[in-house]
Structure 1
Amino acid sequence: MKTRVISALILAPILIVLVAMGGLPLKISIMILGMVGMREFYQAFSKGNNGLHTISYLFALFYGVFMEQVINGDNYFNIFVAVFLVVLLVYTVICHDKTNAVEGMSGFFGFFYVFFLLSHIYLIREFMYGKYLVWLVFSTAFGTDTGAYFVGIKFGKHKLIPSLSPKKTVEGAIGGIVTATILALIYGTLIDGFFVFDGVDVVLLCGLTGFFGSFLAQIGDLAASAMKRMAGIKDFGKLIPGHGGVLDRFDSVILTAPALYYIMLFLIEVAPL
């Protein structure tokens, strides 16, 4: 526990500074985190398949450099996905003696599960009002963890999904959602009083993010547990002492960030980026 707390105290200020800065520093940081997370994923599911990994890293690098254009360009993302998939299929066929279809699918999924979903942190930050709203990603994810932990300890009686996470309870899950939603509503009320959000019901936006983001944060946590159980590992990595790897620390953020981004797209009547 001591190591876990020390790591958090060191990393939290770095994270805050990078997110506050936005722009290129945040983009590069997200790309590095994404690459490290992809490596952790591939080490779990397709260890030793360097050719497959290289292809996936190259496509991730391309997406990272041009993510704004890929996401917002007409059909660019569809083209990117199609080319990525075709290249992986070609590799799987040509190098069938070194790989298989399952590993090919892991290459495709690894990019989208890790790099693509994490990239939404940067996309949110560069979105209109993103410098105020991006903090919802972290408050929702970590608020969910905190609420679920304390409510689970105090009131937890019914196991949620014991085969994946023996300690998680239904009461804890509900407590996590309630805590995250309350924090989001408080944050929305505060920033709505200090800043102008033209044409945006920021309290509604924050409330929706807190509720749905918290639900997805817990799905992300459980999904990571299911993957680790399947791979027969305790943690995806050892990069962060006391926390594990990138995927162990950001498993809930991975799904919370897209939730906020697409809620913003729906509620903010301004073209992103």
Structure 2
Amino acid sequence: MKQRIITAVVALAIFIPILYWGGWSLELAAAVLAVIGMSEIFIMRKRIIMSLDFLLASIGVLLVTLPDHMFAWLPQFITRLDLIYVIVVLLLLHTVASKNKTTYDDAGIATLSLFYIGTGFHNLVAVRNDAGLDTLLFAMIIVWLTDSGAYFVGRAFGKHKLWPAISPNKTWEGSVGGNVVALIFAAIYLQFFPQVYAFWPMMGIALFLSVIGSLGDLIESALKRYYGVKDSGKILPGHGGILDRFDSLLIVLPMLHLFGIV
């Protein structure tokens, strides 16, 4: 517990100022976090990170993560998606050059991961820099309070397992309790920091984000259980890896774009 608290204090001391400043500092932080997240996927799969396929996957996740203004130099007939497709083709060609030491499955997982991780961190930057700090905090508060509420309500009242094959400690009571706690605090937050839509539509979005955030947590749990690891990484002592800490946000933040908030 002591290690968890120390890590949390240090991480927040670094991360909170970056969130406050936004701009290039957050863009750089998101890029670094995305590459670390990709490395965690490779390490969980016991793949070598000092390899061509990791280099290509890292370039790919950066192409997805980096903000739109960094691609203003591209000719009009070339898009960001074109560059990402070139990376995918190079990953496929590597399966040939490596004589299937890097397989089609490896290329597929790298491609899925670069979109999963990159889209999440791209929207971390987009929400902060385009919609504002108050909107980013709205999403973060929902995620954090859903998780914390589920933990405490589950410990106190949890009896019915939510999805034991994936996450044996989660319960339906905890999950619903987390949603309720998140909604209560979202309602309070909206009184002080109104968002782009009226109160009740935003409350509906808050409920959706709370539920989808819980599913994001289960996605990461399924990933770790499949690869037989407890944590996605060890970069945050007592907390695990980057994907452990951002699992819900990687799913929640892109949803703000789909709702037209960003």
TM-based fold match above 0.5: yes
> Could you tell me which of 132, 155, 163 is aligned with 2:157?
155
Partner in structure 1 of residue 102 of structure 2? 99
Q: 1:74 to 1:224 in 2, by over 3 A?
A: farther
Partner in structure 2 of residue 119 of structure 1? 122
Q: How far does residue 246 in structure 1 lie from its aligned partner after superposition?
A: 0.5
Partner in structure 2 of residue 60 of structure 1? 61
Q: How far does residue 100 in structure 1 lie from its aligned partner after superposition?
A: 0.8
Q: Is the 8 A contact 2:62 2:118 kept in 1?
A: no
Corresponding position: 1:84 with 2:84: no
- Structure 2 residue runs of 5 or longer lacking an equivalent are none
Corresponding position: 1:3 with 2:3: yes
CA distance in 2: counterparts of 1:77 and 1:181, whole angstroms: 37
Corresponding position: 1:230 with 2:226: yes
Q: 1:119 to 1:76 in 2, by over 3 A?
A: same
Q: Is the 8 A contact 1:136 1:209 kept in 2?
A: no
User: Structure 2 counterpart of 1:237, which letter?
Assistant: G
User: Structure 1 counterpart of 2:122, which letter?
Assistant: S
Q: How far does residue 7 in structure 1 lie from its aligned partner after superposition?
A: 1.5
CA distance in 2: counterparts of 1:74 and 1:173, whole angstroms: 47
Which secondary structure does the structure 2 equivalent of 1:167 belong to? strand
Partner in structure 1 of residue 235 of structure 2? 239
> Could you tell me which of 241, 247, 252 is aligned with 2:248?
252
Q: TM-score, normalised by structure 2?
A: 0.89
Partner in structure 2 of residue 203 of structure 1? 199
Between Structure 1 and Structure 2, how many residues are aligned?
258
Which secondary structure does the structure 2 equivalent of 1:166 belong to? strand
Q: Is the 8 A contact 1:183 1:210 kept in 2?
A: no
Q: 1:55 to 1:3 in 2, by over 3 A?
A: same
Q: Percent sequence identity over matched residues?
A: 33
Partner in structure 1 of residue 16 of structure 2? 16
Which secondary structure does the structure 1 equivalent of 2:193 belong to? helix
Q: How far does residue 134 in structure 1 lie from its aligned partner after superposition?
A: 0.8
Q: 1:146 to 1:66 in 2, by over 3 A?
A: closer
Q: How far does residue 232 in structure 1 lie from its aligned partner after superposition?
A: 1.2
C-alpha RMSD of matched pairs (Å): 2.3
Spell out structure 1 runs of 4+ moving beyond 6 A.
none
Partner in structure 1 of residue 28 of structure 2? 28
Q: Is the 8 A contact 2:123 2:254 kept in 1?
A: yes
